[in-house]
Structure 1
Amino acid sequence: MDDLELPYLQVDGRAIASDPLPTVLMGGYGHMTAMQVRNSSVQGLGLHLTRLKDATRELFGQELDGALVVRRIRQALDEAGVRDASVRVYVYAPPVGDSPLTMVVVRPPAPGPKSPQRLRSVPYIRPFAHLKHVGVFGQAHHLRRVQADGFDEALLVGADGLVTEGAVTNVGFVEGDAVVWPEGPSLDGIAMLLLRRELEQAGVTWRQQPVYLDDVARFDAAFVSNSVGIAPIAHIDDIGFPHDGDLVRVLPKLYEQAPWDLLA
């Protein structure tokens, strides 16, 4: 074979039929969003689509059809024969002259955390932290390491001690009757954005400000948020937090009140 016009892939000695998607996936250049689907509905569907469209425009200089994404999610659910699921939508760099490649992954529904979470701080900031991109080796490495030591989540901290986010969560703190979100390189998580809306509707104050690891002990409580829900934090390193205060207990209930949007 003198001229290889099409990609040739081999896994364990087996050739894979030519397809641009596996080659694109190995390149590791793309972005995604993760959601929980219940009764064919999603909380914050518009926020998920905005995330995907904004990142596609930033990374690829192209527009993403949000209605097409919704149709593909619904198609994947129908083909899987489920109405409740964990769903991930990936968008990858397009072949030259083509549109971005999208992939929908359907898995069983993920339950929320059953107990207060234990976090260990690690010195790491995600590159291009405002994007939910597919290059997650660093945070995945730290998460696996802290979980092997009995912790639930890694708390990502800058070299100067600036608290940013969890490996797979946003982190928030309670100070009196207000919620404080760390200010720094991080992802605007969909659960965090939904919770902010619900806090405002409930008349609860929230703000962003720099939070440093040396100062977290001064807060009254702490919590994490992501697509599976809101959970209180029991410990950050050796610092304990109460998880039975009025505000930290009401946060999961506020999040549950966020409306569900039908995938139609």
Structure 2
Amino acid sequence: MTSAPPPPLPFPYVEMDGHPATEDDLRVPALFGFGHFTALQVRDRRVRGLGLHLERLEGANRELFRLPLDGGRVRELIRGALDRAGMRDASVRVHGFLPPGESRTRVMVTVREPAAVAPGGRSLMSVPYARAVPHIKRPGEFGQTYYGMLAARGGFDEALLTAPGGVVTEGAITNIGFWDGSSVVWPDAPALIGITMALLERGLAAAGEPSVRRAVTLDGLGAYRGAFLCNSQGIAPVWRIDAVEFAGGDAAAAETEGTEGTEEMQGVMARLEAAYGSAPAELL
């Protein structure tokens, strides 16, 4: 008589400090949610920009808790969670918490199905919100979630965060870049430098196409020939911000099929993908 297969693991699968999360473990993020995290895509146990993810975790942990967070420990915890979840390709998040009275960072790893950016262009609704301490990636951002919800209700794909004066900073869960006809332009404003953004900057520079930082404002969007978003899931063109349309996205391409602007942005997106693809995938 054959034994029944083990029940499937719940997704997302959650571990705390190297073991399946218990009810007590889950009280940590529920009651002491002050912390930080990084999100990464794993393919065949490899991660593009793994070193940058580990640097992000270490830097945030020292700033928030005055404690180190060893990269070797983090890699071991990710490997263990993937082993127990039985996955080689996955979406992984690594969180750092320090509950009151404790002296060692609690590390939570979540594992779920791999994800990739959906095809097609994105539409953005600008909102008057800029994150405090934006260089630290942290969970439970009420403002980003709230304005993202409003954007979705308005028929947009994502919110575009702006500082006073209409200064563009970042997407709610992405970085945004622009194309001015000769260079990729990143908004010169306080924002989280995402791992994909950092890899794009490196890859473009290595290809002889260095990107630049420049102040971008809502009233100056018409000067740009295109725009794109990027995060751990990939890179996507932007076809609209509020009422300003760009070439290279779904709706714009439907009206300008085969035009010079659309073809130009298709070329830009191909170069961005090549720059990102040039980053080595590091073994966990």
Considering the TM-score relative to the shorter chain, is it more than 0.5?
yes
CA offsets, 1:2-35, max 9 Å, x none? Answer: xxxxxxxxxxxxxxx8836514532320000000
Alignment-derived partner of residue 160 in structure 1: 165
Secondary structure of the 2:64 match is: helix
Aligned positions, number: 247
The question of whether the paired residues in 2 share the 8 Å contact of 1:56 and 1:63 is answered with yes
2:44 is aligned, of 39, 48, 53, to: 39
Sequence identity, in percent?
A: 47
Change (3 A) 1:113 1:24: closer
The question of whether the paired residues in 1 share the 8 Å contact of 2:174 and 2:230 is answered with yes
Q: How does 1:201-216 map to 2 (within 5 A)?
A: 201-216=206-221
2:277 is aligned, of 253, 256, 261, to: 256
CA offsets, 1:22-62, max 9 Å, x none? Answer: 14532320000000000000000000000000000000001
Q: CA deviation at 1:227?
A: 0.2
Q: CA deviation at 1:144?
A: 1.5
> Tell me, which stretches of 5 or more residues in structure 1 are unaligned?
1-16
Q: CA deviation at 1:231?
A: 0.8
Q: CA deviation at 1:255?
A: 1.3
**Does 42-51 or 252-261 show the bigger shift?**
252-261
Change (3 A) 1:20 1:78: closer
Alignment-derived partner of residue 144 in structure 1: 149
Task: Report the Cα distance in structure 1 between the residues aligned to 2:50 and 2:202, rounded to whole angstroms.
Answer: 14
> Tell me, which stretches of 5 or more residues in structure 2 are unaligned?
1-21, 249-261
Alignment-derived partner of residue 64 in structure 1: 69
Q: CA deviation at 1:172?
A: 0.4
TM (normalized to structure 1)?
A: 0.90
Q: How does 1:1-264 map to 2 (within 5 A)?
A: 19=24, 21-243=26-248, 244=262, 245=264, 246-263=267-284
RMSD of Structure 2 on Structure 1 (CA): 1.5
Secondary structure of the 2:130 match is: coil
**Does 85-94 or 95-104 show the bigger shift?**
95-104
CA offsets, 1:87-137, max 9 Å, x none? Answer: 000001244242011000001001212101111101100111111012311
Task: Report the Cα distance in structure 1 between the residues aligned to 2:242 and 2:23, rounded to whole angstroms.
Answer: 49
**Does 164-173 or 205-214 show the bigger shift?**
205-214
TM (normalized to structure 2)?
A: 0.84
Task: Report the Cα distance in structure 2 between the residues aligned to 1:252 and 1:115, rounded to whole angstroms.
Answer: 14
Secondary structure of the 2:211 match is: strand
The question of whether the paired residues in 1 share the 8 Å contact of 2:32 and 2:97 is answered with no
Task: Report the Cα distance in structure 1 between the residues aligned to 2:152 and 2:278, rounded to whole angstroms.
Answer: 31
